[in-house]
Amino acid sequence: DVKVTQSSRYLVKRTGEKVFLECVQDMDHENMFWYRQDPGLGLRLIYFSYDVKMKEKGDIPEGYSVSREKKERFSLILESASTNQTSMYLCASARQGGRANEKLFFGSGTQLSVL
């Protein structure tokens, strides 16, 4: 089975801190994604990457950046954390399916609290 591992389940940071959320997948997937999940808003796509060193903005990229230096690792960076970035962050990966759809495999999530 595909394993998507997020480095922390819970994280507490202070306003203004630089925050790194790490995600590693073990199935050689080309595509990786970062979502945030908030009550009443559902899952929203922050950034995604379809190859090493490639990144694309999702629906809500403001205040975030990403890094994909190796195929298996996709990092989400909060340059200067703010309280409105308190959320559950979910990483996902998927194969590049060509013309077919490929399902997303999710990590367990990181609940980030910014104080």
Partner 1 sequence: SQELEQSPQSLIVQEGKNLTINCTSSKTLYGLYWYKQKYGEGLIFLMMLQKGGEEKSHEKITAKLDEKKQQSSLHITASQPSHAGIYLCGAAYSGGGADGLTFGKGTHLIIQP
Site residues for partner 1 per CB under 8 A: 4, 30-31, 33, 35, 40-45, 48, 50, 58, 88, 90, 92, 94-109, 111
User: How many C-beta atoms surround the C-beta of residue 101 within 10 A?
Assistant: 8
Q: Is the Cβ of residue 53 or residue 99 nearer to partner 1 in the bound state?
A: 99
- Residue 13 Cβ, how far from partner 1 at the closest point, in Å? 18
Among candidate residues 41, 75, 73, 74, the one with its CA nearest the CA of residue 60: 41
How many Å apart are CA 85 and CA 22, to the nearest integer? 16
User: How many C-beta atoms surround the C-beta of residue 110 within 10 A?
Assistant: 22
Sign of CA dihedral 48, 50, 53, 55: negative
**Contact call for residues 58 and 48 (beta carbons, < 8 A):** yes
Q: Is the Cβ of residue 46 or residue 114 nearer to partner 1 in the bound state?
A: 46
- Residue 25 Cβ, how far from partner 1 at the closest point, in Å? 12
- Residue 69 Cβ, how far from partner 1 at the closest point, in Å? 19
- Residue 16 Cβ, how far from partner 1 at the closest point, in Å? 26
Q: Is the Cβ of residue 80 or residue 104 nearer to partner 1 in the bound state?
A: 104
Q: Show the tokens assigned to 96.
A: 């590049």
Q: Is the Cβ of residue 81 or residue 94 nearer to partner 1 in the bound state?
A: 94
